[in-house]
Amino acid sequence: MCGIIGYIGSEKASPILLKGLFNLEYRGYDSAGMATLNNEIIVCKKGAGKIHDINHKLNFLSLEGTIGIAHNRWATHGGVNDINAHPHFDCSKAIAIVHNGIIENHRELKEALSEHKFESETDSEILAHLIEEELKKGFSFEDAFVNAILKLDGNYAVLAIKAGEEKILAARKGSPLVVGVTDHGIFLSSDIPSFLEWTKKVVYLHDYDIVIAERGGIRIYNLIEGQVSRPIDTVEWDAEQIKKGGFDHYMLKEILDQTETIYRAIQQDIDVVNKIIDEIRKAYGIFFVGCGSSYHACLAGSYLFSKIAETHINVVLASEFENYEHFLRENTLVFAVSQSGETADVLEAVRAAKRSGSKVIGIVNRMGSSLTRESDEFLLMNAGPEICVLSTKTYTSQVALMILLAYALIGRYEEGIQKLKGLYMDIYNLTSRSMREHLKKLAEMLVHKEHIYLIGRGLQFTTALEAALKIKEVSYIHAEAFAGGELKHGPLALIEDGTPVIVFVGEDDEKKILSNANEVKARGGYIIGVSAERHDIFDYWIKVPEGGDLNPIVQIIPMQILAYKLAVLKGLDPDKPRNLAKSVTVI
Ligand code: M6R
């Protein structure tokens, strides 16, 4: 959903900003641009395409100056072209801005500025013109910026520079923005990995914060609270974690990381877990909400809570949560599950819950994200940065936390910990070279198929849903999951000679799912079994250990690899699927 970065310091800005852009590429990759302050004037280069190509064409490093801002775009308003790429300018080209978010009232604001010449179709450009207008009234750059920000409806993380002013101004509301503090300067960015190479010291900004970054440091002013000081935290991630570490793609690296990330997910503060368990016991109605893979983790969680703890959970897509708002009471408990902690739909659900007085528990990977601030309690996944747009390791971390909570609820926390710890060797084998080769062969058979169907029952149904999402988003092959029992209610009509159907078998449902697989086989379907035992009906077999409650973890890993292999065989970039972005900060 766009990434922004700014730097002010003693070093040349453009190389630092360019690295930052590469590190933020997962947030948007349809256009990019950079503006620096050089001898009191602003110089800028921007264009549509991938950063690597734009840089090859325009050479960002030719921009001189030690103050600059840059942007990766994921288009929302206006097509993908050079003009709509950020930075955007006012009429006099004295003010440059970059923006992540959506300015909802940009049309009304634009109408009121009919004398201004707008170049792009974006909502963002309005900000540069609003600042220009305030400057004309005689306000200082800082006051003009604040006055302009006060006119905006919607979400924003913005950075602005002005010719002749040695500073970067920033504001955030609803979109992520953090400050990085180094000896040689200040970073302002959508996300920590963009500057991790230079510093681990960060200041997490709050909504309505305005930052004035100068060479000597920062001042923070909150539009509601006035002058504020925010603590400097140290992040535990290191720069190595955001590098590919010798792998061709982040996706593969992150899939292989899972031997460790499950272990890290279970490193929780027992007091926080106990507090959450108390809340669950007291609650009248529990909701799990999330989007995409996080929603699938919620769904797996509901089966796990039912199976392990005999506790009923309502699972709702965050984007649909408003339809359930009237069920919320003070003693309702809402779990908001999100890797980024910045997904707009999830944050909307959190705010709806808080409006009704309900308690919110976050399950989140990003410390300092909006979700960590807005929830009453949260558990961190501790999975480290996930750069690939696809959720892989964070999905299994979410499921691990669901398992842990369900065991804690029945007073068997330690048993849950031990079970999850025991996964190490299983994941090691599931991600081994020989397994990857085996899955590559399957990918070679499937790569030209138009449709892949996936079936499972119970917990395995949730894995089928998640596996279908992985395949479709990275390989663009239509993949659709069904509950095994639903086949006869319609989807069987899709099966013809050679239609591939992936069947997830768990010990609880073996008989029933195999009989569903037989229904497919009888109509010519090609059966790919994912199970601990080989069955005659399988045309292709992916051997996984029988994990019981842990099946959502052990069965999804080969599917993540299969999806990866399909993308690579098709010559696609698995880290950056078309039309998608890592952190979806629009509704
Ligand atoms: O950061 P979140 O967990 O809230 O993100 C939710 C979804 O946008 C995310 O899971 C998305 O579906 C991924 N592309 C799945 O691989």
**Separation of alpha carbons 460 and 513, rounded Å:** 10
- Distance in Å, CA 382 to ligand 1 centroid: 16
* Residue 469 CB-half CA count within 13 A: 19
Is the C-beta atom of 431 inside 6 A of ligand 1?
Answer: no
**What are the residues facing 334 on neighbouring strands?**
287, 360
What distance in Å separates the CA atoms of residue 383 and residue 254, rounded to the nearest whole number? Answer: 9
Structure tokens given for 90: 């006012």
> Taking residues 442-452, what's their average pLDDT?
98
Asked if pLDDT for residue 1 goes beyond 70, the answer is: no
433-580: CATH topology is Rossmann fold (3.40.50)
Which residues pair with residue 4 across a beta bridge? 71
Is 2 a known active-site residue?
Answer: yes
Q: Is the CB of 291 under 6 A from ligand 1?
A: yes
DSSP 8-state assignment for residue 71: E
Going from N- to C-terminal start, the domains of the chain cover: 3-242, 244-422, 433-580
- Alpha carbon distance 9, 298 (integer Å): 44
Is the C-beta atom of 190 inside 6 A of ligand 1?
A: no
Q: Just give the CATH number of 244-422.
A: 3.40.50.10490
Which atom of ligand 1 has the smallest separation from the CA of 398? Answer: 3
pLDDT of residue 79: 87
Q: Are 110 and 127 in contact (CB under 8 A)?
A: no
On the question of a common fold for 244-422 and 433-580, the answer reads: yes
Residue tagged 């747009």 (tokens): 389
Query: Which residue owns the Cα nearest ligand 1 atom 9?
Result: 292
Residue among 168, 170, 188, 167 nearest 178 (CA): 188
Is-catalytic flag, 582?
yes
Instruction: Answer for the pair 361, 369: CB distance below 8 angstroms, yes or no.
Output: no
* Residue 289 Cβ < 6 Å to ligand 1: no
pLDDT tens digits for range 75-117: 878 889 999 999 999 999 999 999 999 899 999 999 999 999 9
Q: Which atom of ligand 1 has the smallest separation from the CA of 577?
A: 14
Per DSSP, the three-state class of 323 is helix
Topology of domain 3-242 in CATH is Glutamine Phosphoribosylpyrophosphate, subunit 1, domain 1 (3.60.20)
Span 189-208, pLDDT tens digits:
998 989 999 999 999 999 99
Q: Is 389 in the pocket of ligand 1 (CB under 6 A)?
A: yes
289 Cα: distance to centroid of ligand 1 (angstroms): 12
Q: What is the per-residue pLDDT across 283-300, written as a single tens digit (0 to 9) for each?
A: 999 999 999 999 999 999
- What global pTM score does this model have? 0.81
